[in-house]
């Protein structure tokens, strides 16, 4: 039991939780309307004990409020302002019972110190989390949230005006890069309060790049790094799912020029899959990544799959990647940013010329070329997965249109890796996969490798040699054109046989280079013929073994031998008669000539 505040003997004991306070009725009744009502409503006029359970802040806060009733000056700070304000409401210490009571004192501190400052407001809001529902009932939470939103927008407006006055180039506000930036302190809040603050600042018009930085900072503190593709703890999984879905719902508006980094979107998608997030959340993230796919790197699209206990499932979620790439390829012209729309128009001497949206050199075409390199790298990575089915790998290989890849060496390398890791593929699957490669878009090095690659179907090897022969013939004749573009001119302007570039090389060197390449090609053709000859020999041997293995064929074999002897006999007779007639005719001619 705590000792009484004054020397006068106590006439009232108040219990708050496990603590008891020996106090006096008069100072408490003069300040607290709740204590006054409890004493007046008591049937016992000589009541000496009260139980005040549920005092916000517990015994410590009640002790501060009791001292205030006795006229003792108490210290109000960031750490106790929220509990004192709620305790004043709970004890009804307002102006109705006394002037300059605890409620008006705490309100003055809020208006002067807390609400004008964003960091102070966030600190007090953090303390309000443990004071629900009283802090909500007195509208303290909403007032602090609105104060944060108003001050954030004022800060943004002030920064923009100062830049206009001094004609500064647009730069991120300084508070974004400071170590004590107020956005970082929002990570102290629970998910509900954080969501309400973000919604308020978005409504007030806070810049999207600042909102993105706030979300990234909060996610780094709230989301547990995912190890593997699943979360074993069910409670943790549920918490992660709710957190990531809330963060996704607070992301800025989708656009190709979004302020949200694609690496952050990728990490959210991986967390969503690991936590078993909703389909709508996954689709939202996949669309956002698809809009910015030309900014991605390989790590951003290596999305682990949730195996659901299946040990033979693939390592990566290729279905999600297919949807992401399809989203990028299906972008409408309206999805292109305004700056890209301006760049789509090129002027020449005769007037204005507008090129097609998918034509070479257009903004979308340049993005597609970047995405094609990204997909080739992705294919080479997932090709190492022995559990990946050929149908899914083929679907990935067929994603891009023909004009997306100027050179298909990357695709060929990925297909070759997949064939090496999956040696037991069916011939039909192997043939369909290799059909995705355009042999006319392979460089000379890739063609040389393909011609000797025993993992490829024979049809493809022959096709490679055929197109290489055409290229060499065009190079020797000095003819440019479609095939020459795909085979050589892309590697550099000084490549032999590349049209204008061939003028930079002497005719003798050019001819020697062509002869050398032609010899190499002949060697490859000879190797292919040897391979075909070996295959034919094996085929004949297999047929002979098959015939020998059946006893029923012995009669047919003896009949065949007799028939062949008869044929020889008839041929001999026919040949002999024919020879005699020819000799007689010749003799008659000679004799006729001799007579004449």
255 pLDDT tier (thresholds 50, 70, 90): confident
> Is 48 in contact with 54 (CB distance < 8 Å)?
no
Q: Is the model more confident about 469 or about 593?
A: 469
Asked if CATH classification 3.20.20.80 holds for the domain at 12-114, the reply, yes or no, is no
pLDDT per position as a tens digit, 4-63: 455 568 889 999 988 999 999 999 999 999 999 999 888 777 788 899 988 999 999 999
pLDDT score, position 590: 42
Q: What is the dihedral of CA 254, 257, 258, 260, to 10 degrees?
A: 140
Interstrand relation of 351-354 and 49-51 (parallel, antiparallel or unpaired): unpaired
- How far is C-alpha 212 from the chain's CA centre? 17
Residue matched to tokens 């306070």 = 21
The answer to whether residue 234 scores a pLDDT higher than 60 is: yes
**Higher model confidence: residue 480 or residue 371?**
371
Counting every residue written for the chain, the total comes to: 596
Q: Please report, in angstroms and rounded to a whole number, the separation of the first and last CA atoms in the chain.
A: 163
Does 444 or 62 have the greater pLDDT score? 62
Main-chain phi, psi angles of 139, to 5 degrees: 65, 25
- Do the bridges between strand 345-348 and strand 351-354 make them parallel or antiparallel, or are there none, so unpaired? antiparallel
pLDDT of residue 473: 75
The three state secondary structure string of 376-396 is HHHHHHHCCCCCCCHHHHHHH
Q: Find tokens 């919604």 and name the residue.
A: 199
pLDDT at 162: 59
pLDDT of residue 309: 53
Task: Say which range, 180-189, 419-428, 483-492, has the weakest mean pLDDT.
Answer: 483-492
Per-residue pLDDT of 299-341, as tens digits, reads: 999 999 876 656 678 899 999 999 999 999 887 544 554 444 4
Quick check: 176 pLDDT over 90?
Answer: no
Q: Has residue 577 got a pLDDT over 60?
A: no
DSSP state at residue 304: B
Matching residue, tokens 């108490």 = 74
Q: What are phi and psi of 562, to 5 degrees?
A: -65, -40
Is the confidence at residue 65, as pLDDT, over 90? yes
Residues 95-106: tens digit of each pLDDT: 998 889 999 999
**Average model confidence (pLDDT) across the chain:** 79
**Amino acid 306: pLDDT:** 75
Identify the weakest region by mean pLDDT among 174-183, 201-210, 224-233, 552-561.
Answer: 552-561
Q: Would you place residue 191 in the very low, low, confident or very high pLDDT band (cuts 50, 70, 90)?
A: very high
CA pair distance 3, 1, nearest whole angstrom: 7
Mean pLDDT: which of 4-18, 146-160, 199-213 is highest? 199-213
pLDDT reported for residue 226: 64
Treating both helix axes as pointing N-terminal to C-terminal, what angle do 234-249 and 262-274 enclose, rounded to 10 degrees? 140
Shortest CA distance to 418 belongs to which of 393, 446, 438?
Answer: 393
Which pLDDT does position 120 carry in this prediction?
95
pLDDT score of 252 more than 50: yes
pLDDT score recorded for residue 548:
65
List, for residues 533-544, the tens digit of each pLDDT value: 777 787 777 777
Residue 261 has pLDDT above 50, yes or no: yes
b/e map 11-39, b = 16+ CB within 10 Å: ebbbebeeeebbbbbebbbebbbbbbebb
What's the CA gap between 441 and 367, in Å, rounded? 19
* % of the chain residues with pLDDT over 90: 46
User: For 116-125, what is the mean pLDDT?
Assistant: 95
């Amino acid at each position: 039991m705590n000792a009484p505040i004054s020397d006068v003997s106590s006439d009232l004991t108040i219990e708050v939780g496990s603590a008891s306070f020996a106090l006096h009725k008069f100072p408490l009744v003069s300040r607290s309307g709740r204590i006054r009502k409890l004493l007046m409503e008591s049937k016992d006029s000589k009541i000496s004990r009260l139980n005040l359970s549920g005092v916000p802040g517990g015994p410590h806060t009640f002790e501060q409020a009791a001292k205030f009733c006795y006229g003792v000056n108490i210290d109000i700070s960031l750490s106790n302002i929220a509990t004192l304000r709620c305790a004043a409401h709970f004890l009804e210490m307002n102006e109705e019972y006394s002037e300059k009571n605890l409620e008006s004192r705490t309100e003055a501190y809020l208006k002067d110190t807390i609400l004008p400052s964003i960091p102070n407001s966030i600190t007090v809001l953090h303390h309000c989390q443990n004071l629900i529902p009283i802090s909500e009932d007195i509208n303290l939470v909403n007032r602090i949230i609105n104060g944060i939103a108003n001050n954030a927008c004022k800060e943004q407006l002030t920064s923009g005006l100062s830049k206009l006055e001094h004609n500064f180039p647009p730069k991120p506000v300084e508070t974004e890069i400071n170590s004590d930036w107020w956005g970082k302190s929002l990570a102290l809040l629970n998910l509900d309060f954080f969501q309400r603050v973000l919604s308020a600042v978005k409504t007030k018009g806070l810049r999207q790049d600042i909102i993105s930085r706030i979300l990234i900072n909060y996610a780094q503190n709230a989301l547990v790094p995912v190890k593997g593709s699943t979360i074993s703890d069910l409670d943790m999984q549920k918490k992660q799912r709710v957190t990531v879905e809330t963060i996704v719902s607070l992301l800025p508006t989708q656009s190709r020029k979004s302020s949200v980094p694609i690496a952050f979107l990728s990490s959210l998608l991986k967390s969503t899959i690991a936590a078993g997030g909703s389909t709508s959340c996954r689709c939202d993230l996949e669309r956002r990544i698809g809009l910015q796919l030309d900014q991605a790197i390989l790590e951003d699209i290596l999305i682990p799959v949730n195996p659901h206990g299946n040990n033979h499932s693939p390592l990566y979620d290729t279905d999600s990647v297919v949807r992401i790439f399809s989203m990028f390829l299906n972008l409408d012209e309206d999805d292109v940013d305004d700056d890209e729309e301006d760049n789509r128009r090129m002027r020449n001497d005769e007037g204005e010329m507008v090129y097609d949206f998918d034509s070479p050199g257009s903004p979308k075409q340049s993005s597609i070329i970047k995405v094609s390199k990204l997909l080739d790298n992705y294919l080479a990575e997932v090709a190492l997965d022995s559990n990946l089915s050929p149908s899914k790998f083929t679907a990935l290989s067929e994603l891009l249109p023909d004009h997306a890849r100027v050179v298909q060496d990357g695709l060929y390398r990925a297909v070759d890796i997949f064939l090496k890791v999956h040696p037991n593929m069916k011939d039909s699957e192997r043939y369909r996969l290799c059909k995705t490669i355009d042999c006319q878009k392979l460089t000379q090095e890739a063609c040389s490798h393909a011609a000797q690659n025993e993992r490829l179907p024979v049809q493809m090897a022959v096709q490679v040699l055929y197109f290489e022969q055409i290229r060499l013939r065009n190079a020797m004749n000095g003819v440019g054109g479609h095939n020459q573009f795909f085979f050589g001119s892309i590697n550099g302007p000084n490549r032999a046989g590349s049209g204008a570039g061939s003028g930079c090389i002497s005719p003798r060197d050019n001819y020697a280079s062509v002869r050398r390449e032609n010899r190499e090609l002949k060697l490859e053709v000879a190797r292919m013929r040897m391979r075909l000859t070996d295959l034919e020999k094996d085929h004949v041997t297999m047929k002979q073994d098959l015939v020998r293995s059946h006893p029923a064929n012995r009669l047919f074999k003896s009949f065949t031998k007799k028939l062949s002897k008869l044929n020889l006999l008839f041929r001999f007779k026919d040949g002999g008669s024919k020879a005699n007639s020819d000799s007689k005719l010749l003799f008659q001619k000679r004799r006729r000539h001799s007579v004449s």
